[in-house]
Chain A
Amino acid sequence: MSKQKRIAGNVANYVDERTGAAAWLKKNLTKVFPDHWSFMLGEVALYSFIILLLSGTFLTFWFDPSQNEVIYHGAYAPLDGIPMTAAYQSTLHISFDVRGGLLMRQIHHWAALLFMVAIVAHLLRVFFTGAFRKPREFNWLIGVGLLTLGIVEGFLGYSLPDDLLSGTGIRIAEAIIQAIPVVGSYLAFFAFGGPFPGHVFISRIYTVHVLLIPGIILALITIHLMLVWYQKHTQYPGPGRTEKNVVGYPLMPVYMAKAGGFFFIVFGVTAFLGAVASINPIWLYGPYTPGQISAGSQPDWYMGWLDGLVRMAPPLETHAFGHTISWNILIPGLIIPGILFTGMALYPFIESWMTGDKREHHLLDRPRNNPNRTALGAMSLSFMFISLINGGNDIIATHFHLTINEIMWFTRIGLFVVPPIVFVITKRICFSLQLADRNLVLHGRETGRLVMLPHGEFVEVHEPISPEKAYTLTQHEQVPALALPDEDSNGVRNPGGLKRKIRARASQANAEQIPAVTASELHELEGGHH
């Protein structure tokens, strides 16, 4: 035995005698993971989080989370002699004096944007393929929690440098807190240690940003992954893939190499962005002061929809009995986001209630095969997108030579009109795609070859598709609507009242499908042709 092997054996023996890890590892090193590009989206989120932890730790070595006033005399000449907070000064120091400091700042910011992009893309993949269904509802809830925490974490992060732009964002956050009925001004004074801006919020949000929220995110990611591991990954439908198995490659060595390699690729791409693409150049904004602002103030993209909703809110306030309620802040800033996120969190349970489906699902849906869900998702996305457009209305106005008023009215009306239209269109598109699948299975693939028949007619030659493909296009279940009788056995009309009506209607909407080709249909057709 070579020396190397002997040492490895000794180490393995030492560890196993103390942990019994060998039995567990033997089983899990060959754990099978299905392969699909869309399964990498969640991975990107995980990897960008690791990049955030690494680059963020680096930044804490120099960042000074303090609002003590200092006079700047550093490498950046245009701000020489300007009073500012220590937080802003140390951010300038990181950007101009620390070797690799600006690179790390930019990597950190890019990774944060990528983190949110990946979370949202992953969420969409999970939603549109129905991966949230039983038994994965817990992981859906954890995911919604991670998305929410990510938004807050990102906002707090870009607020730390205490530049003019970030201070403006904090000012708005303070106004939202202050608008909460009854306790708002108290909460605002507690959060900011007195009147805005005070001297404490940078150090407070720093603790939350570097310790509290990352800690919770890390814990949630751990549970998220443990559940993925334990429940095994979902897979796309196809030949040989069933609800009872999982088809793919073993963890060791293929997935270790692919996933490990992919981490380095994500890190490399983020580093490339940090190297060439300037982001959040805080030295151009100057230090925060409540009396100034820069035109075109924009939040980061994942806050844009929220800002867009606030921008389009009607000017409504109620003044009564010596009190004020700011509907123009509460509705777009708290109520609508609350409804959206609660609805998103509850969706798996709502869908299971609508369809009456309580079974486990490990095979993913092709989005077209669940038109109602896909249309609902597209509808929600269009709502967010319209809001996001309005969040950048000033930038869009200057780039496309429109007036802010035009964009604002377009989005104010569009927010109500566009989502239902998107719902209907998406559902139609799904039906069309189902129909196309049906035709493909029945009549085969268009070859593009035209043949003249003896009597002069031209036809295009169709080629039958493979049995594998035919199976993939027809394997999905088409669940009929729930039978919810209008009358119960005692002759009581409409048992269950409105709830039953809604459920029956929703179940019907869910069951609308183009019938998939059955084996007998295919046989009949083949018999007829030949």
Chain B
Amino acid sequence: MANEIEKIKDPGLPAHKHRKADLDPKAADRAERQVSVLFLLSGAGTALFIFAFLFVKTDTFVYLPILGTTNAHQLFLGLGMAASLFFIGMGMVHWAKTLMSDTEVIAERHEFRSSDEDRQSFVDTVKEQASTAGLGRRKLIKRSLGFAGLLAALPGVLILRDLGPLPRKALNKTNWDKGVRLVTDPGYRPIKASDLEVGAVAQVLPELPEGTERTLENIGTDAVLLIRIRPEEFQLNAERLSWTHEGIIAFSKICSHMGCAVALYEQQTKHLLCPCHQSTFDVTRAAKVIFGPAARPLPQLAITVDAEGYLVAQAPFNEPIGPSFWERSS
């Protein structure tokens, strides 16, 4: 406590300073007028809102500096609403600051801790009530209740079971298979090698049997990027090279990191870049990861041409496409 005594003394609340409006009735009247003007401005805002709502069509556009071409209906509606609300607020605050009492008031704090008697009587009550229920002695009741309680939580989890099917092998499957044609997206037309110039890139999907609907889930697993470069630029082993066709190489477009569409292709460097997390894949080296958080190359689809010269898959993907999951084996 010696420390306390040495401290510089609390001089107490400084004397109250009166505002102009407290002393001068004219200043108070002026403040009142200011508050009223603010409230009236709010009224003008409301009028603007009503006008814009009723008379400015939703497809009216105006040109404004900075904002550019703007939808006039929504702009005036918004400005009216903003003014209508903002000036009510400003008026209230100005009123409080100029005309309401600004004398600081001191309130004492109460202690949160209950009195010792209250605490004791609380403990006694709990003990007494618990003993009438036999909680202390009847161990069997306590244990079986705990057991039943835990068990009763299970249905709460189990009932959610039908939220979706079990994954089973769904994450390993795509619609690519031996001999399935590559078709353009959009358009779904089969393509020939000659349709792609060197340097070109195209998104393709597997041709589905007649009458099958193409769903977003299909696109989410089947989307493939087709890239054509000069064959001598490949740095692939013999197997992977045999998966290409005349410099055309095919990769799953679904990022091996988190499943975004790997859509940015740099023609100069022959890099594929995922816009989500910037994983970068080298097309010439079988989409090897050269930068970013992805841990695996994009799966490569083996392609060739069929008898009519259309590009087809040699085989399904040899690994699951897209982000990793626990059951993935490679």
Contacts and interface: CB of A to CB of B under 8 A. Distances in A.
Interface of A: 30-32, 75, 96-97, 99-100, 102-103, 106-107, 135, 168, 171-172, 174-176, 178-186, 188-198, 200, 231-232, 239-240, 242-250, 253-254, 257-258, 260-269, 271-272, 274-276, 288-297, 307, 310-317, 319, 322-326, 328-329, 332, 360, 362, 393-394, 404-405, 408, 441, 467-468, 470-471, 474-475, 516-520, 522
Given A253-B100, A292-B261, A317-B324, A264 B293 contact: no
Nearest to A195: B217
Given A246-B109, A291-B261, A475 B89 contact: no
A97 B135 CA distance: 65
A182 B328 CA distance: 11
Interface stretch (B10-18, B114-122, B190-198, B233-241): B10-18
18 contacts: A32-B105, A97-B58, A171-B258, A172-B258, A175-B257, A175-B322, A178-B325, A189-B166, A193-B163, A198-B217, A240-B11, A240-B12, A261-B95, A290-B219, A328-B293, A467-B9, A471-B9, A519-B9
A245 B106 contact: yes
Contacts of B163: 190-191, 193
B270 to A, nearest CB: 17
B81 interface: yes
Contacts of A32: 105-107
Given A103-B78, A276-B67, A408 B203 contact: no
Contacts, number: 334
A168 B277 contact: no
A195 B14 contact: no
B105 A171 contact: no
Contacts of A106: 78
A271 B293 contact: no
Interface of B: 5-14, 53, 58-59, 67, 70-71, 73-75, 77-79, 81-93, 95-97, 100-102, 104-109, 112, 160-161, 163-167, 170-171, 185, 203, 205, 216-217, 219-221, 223, 253-254, 257-261, 263-264, 275-279, 289, 291-296, 322-330
A293 B228 CA distance: 21
A371 to B, nearest CB: 19
A257 B105 contact: no
A357 to B, nearest CB: 15
A293 B90 contact: no
B293 A184 contact: no
A99 B49 CA distance: 11
Nearest to A516: B7
Contacts of A200: 164
Given A244-B108, A475-B7, A291 B89 contact: no
